Structure formats: C-alpha cells, structure tokens
Amino acid sequence: MKLYKIFFFFLLISITSQAVAQNSAELKRKKEAIQREIELLQKNLNKAASAKKLTLGEIRALNAKISLMQSKITVINSEIKNLDHQIHENTNTVHSLQEQLGLLRKEYAGMIRFAQRNKNAYDKMMFVFAAKDFNQAYKRIKYLQQFGQYRKKQADYIQGTEKNLKNKIGVLDKNLKEKSNLLKEQQSEQQKLGKNKSEQSAVLKTFSKQERQFSQDIAKRKKQQQAIDREIRNAIQREIALAKQRAEEEERLAAAKAKAENKPVPVASKAKTNGGYLTATPEAAKLSAEFESNRGSLPWPVAQGSITEGFGRHKEGQANYDNTGITIQTAEGASVRAVFNGKVLRVMSSLGKYFVLIKHGEYFTVYQNLRSVSVAAGDNVATKQSIGVVAASEEIPELQFQIWRGTAAQNPEAWIAK
C-alpha cells in the first residue's frame, strides 16, 4: 500500500510540474512579444525624434509604449507569482520526499535487521523442508522469493527517491535564482517606465503649448479621414446597388422564362437586406460565413506592429474625432497583407497615398496609408497575400485598418488575433 501511495505522489508531482512549466513558458512568450513591440515603437520614436518636430504619431507611439511597458511589468509580476507558487510547491515536495525517504530507509533497515536475526534460525532449506505438505512447502518458497523481491524493490524506491530529491533541490535552487533575476528585471522595468513617464509629461507639456497647431492638424486629419470614409461607404453602397440590380434581373429573367414555357411564375423574393443582396450567391454566402467564423482569429494586416489608436471616439486636447478603424504602427517598408480571402473591389488614392478595399461576402476590409500597391480592382486575393507597402505618416510608418459589415464600421480589434 505504501508503494502505491508513493507512486501516486510522484505522479501528482509530475502533472503539477508540467502544468506550471506550460504556464511559465506562456508568460515568457507573452513577455518576449511585448518586448518586440516596445523595441519597434522605440525605433519609430528615435526616427521621429530626429525630425525635431513633435507629431501626433509620436505622441501615440509614446503612449502605446508606456502602456506596453506597464503590461510587461504585469507579466513579470505574474511570472514572480508563478515562481512563488513553484517555490512553495517544490519546497513542500522536497519536505515530502525527505519524509518518504526517511520512512523507506527505516522500513528497509527493519527488514534487514529481521533477516539478520532470523538468518540462522530460519535457514532457507530447513524452513522449506519443515513444511507439513507439498502445498505449504511451495507457499514457503514463494514467500522467500517475494520477500527477496520486495527488499530489492524497496532498495530501488530508495534510490529513485534519493534521485528525485536531488533533482527537486536542484529545481528549487533554479527557481530561487530565476526569482532573483525577475526581481532585478522588475526593478529595471520600473525605472524605465518612470523615465518614459517623465518623457511623456514633457511631451504633453509641449503639446499644451502647441495645442492650437495640433488642433488644426487634427481637424485637417479628421476632414481627410471623413472624405476617405465617405468614399468607402459610397463604394460599398454601389456594390450593394449592383448586387440588388443583379438579383432583380435574375428574378425578371426567371419569370420571363417560366411564362414562355407556360410554367408557374416564381414568386418574387421578399425585400432583402443589404447583407442579403451581398450574399445572394452561394459563393458569396460561403465566403461571408467563413469570414464571420474567423472572428477573433484573423491574421494581422502586418507581420509585426502595435495598435497605437483604437476604434471609436478619441480626444486630443480639446479636439474630438472618430476612428472608424485602428491605427497600427509597424516597421518601415512593412508589407501589408490581406487578412482573408476576397476580391479587390477598389484601389483608391488620396494625397499621394493609396488605400485598398477588399470584399469578403457582406464584409469589407480597408487598408489605408499605403506607399505602393501590388493589386488592382477585380483581383482575387488569398489570406496573408501582400497587397502593398505601408507609407510613413510624419516619419512614422502607420497603417489604418478597417472592417465593415455592409456600411457599418466594425471594431477590428474584435476580429484580429490577440
């Protein structure tokens, strides 16, 4: 019974250790991903600083960087908490193994003493021959064999427990070193965060001094974005109108054919919604359903980047404006990718920059602020296919990414992978 208890004890330790190791690896990956985003934003900030002119993109990058640094500290705190749990568990395991080892040694010593005391009195051959019959003699032989096997098994368990104990002590030492390193990293990140917050305060001070100029820049940007959004909505509405026209023409032709063949005229379908017209064909309906089923797991439109401005209403100083998508800062010259299979509906230009509108059934994706494009209207594109190269806005490479369902703007953060 004791051997079974020890076996289940080791099994429990193994399962717990695997779960903790997976959690630790996940936290480490998350921290590394955040650090890559911080480094990318810092690279953009360094380039923007060389222009010696404060820009809205620079302010957004700095705010995003501070937010990421805070997230990194949160992850480090989670790592420390996780390590504390591991240290607690491993300390308990070491104590339990020491107790198990003590019990095993004590039991084994008792067996050895018993065997030594009865070595002469119970000579093996005499013990067997003293049996009353063959059946009892057989049982005594089996008892002697099992006793020897049990002693060997006990010795093996002692060796295994000693080995496990040594390993766990090594793991515990490693945990303590890791915690020490994490505490140093936490302190270092706190100092960096403090420095960046001071920089943010200085930037906001500059912003307040130049608020009038920034308000004018925001108003100009708002006007430009509204014009682009209007063009996007018009393009989508034209597509809906064409889809409606095609559906009505098909119904008219079907009715004419039925009348010519003296067959009952098909009943005209009831008024459809915009989405109904856009998904009138089986192919469009399938594509739309597949796009919708990938909500929360669509790939990013760039391989690497940080969201520096979210969806919805924003305020900079006294100026308010709406963002119908998300703003992603990325690397200079980054390739812009289609987030899903679809058909390029339009390639448009505004103030020397391009934007691409791709149709996915009743859904549309928009990629704004491209320096160059590699697709044309009517092209079919695949998921992650390059459609162009991002442009820089005031020295900072930024992509404006939007998702529309019909003429209703969606929050892209709810659609792309976390």
Local confidence pLDDT in tens for the 418 residues of the chain = 454 555 555 555 555 555 555 678 888 888 888 888 888 888 878 777 666 666 777 788 888 888 888 888 988 888 888 878 877 777 777 677 677 667 766 766 666 665 665 555 445 555 555 656 767 666 665 665 565 555 566 666 666 666 776 777 777 788 788 888 888 888 888 888 888 888 878 777 776 666 666 667 767 777 777 888 888 888 888 888 888 888 777 777 767 777 777 777 665 554 466 667 888 888 889 999 999 999 999 999 999 999 988 998 876 656 667 788 999 999 888 999 999 999 999 998 877 889 999 999 999 999 999 999 999 999 999 999 999 999 987 678 999 999 999 989 999 999 999 8
- Identity at 165, one-letter amino acid code: L
How far apart CA 296 and CA 354 sit, in angstroms, is: 27
How far apart CA 121 and CA 157 sit, in angstroms, is: 29
Fold of domain 215-414: Glucose Permease (Domain IIA) (2.70.70)
Cα–Cα nearest to 416, from 346, 367, 377: 367
Residue-wise DSSP of 368-391: EEEEEES--TT-EE-TT-EEEEEP
Radius of gyration of the chain (CA): 36
Residue-wise DSSP of 294-330: TTTTBPPSSSSEEEEE-SEEEEETTEEEEESSEEEEE
Distances, alpha carbon 16 to alpha carbons 24, 77, 88, 92, 255, in Å: 12, 21, 12, 13, 69
Q: Which helix (H) or strand (E) holds 232?
A: helix 211-260
Q: Which helix (H) or strand (E) holds 355?
A: strand 353-360
Which pLDDT value is given to residue 121? 43
Which pLDDT value is given to residue 42? 82
Domain map of the chain by residue range?
2-209, 215-414
Residues for the chain: how many in total?
A: 418
Specify whether the CB–CB gap between 3 and 153 falls below 8 A: yes
Which pLDDT value is given to residue 297? 94
Specify whether the CB–CB gap between 103 and 5 falls below 8 A: no
Cα–Cα nearest to 160, from 109, 112, 92, 100: 100
Which pLDDT value is given to residue 271? 47
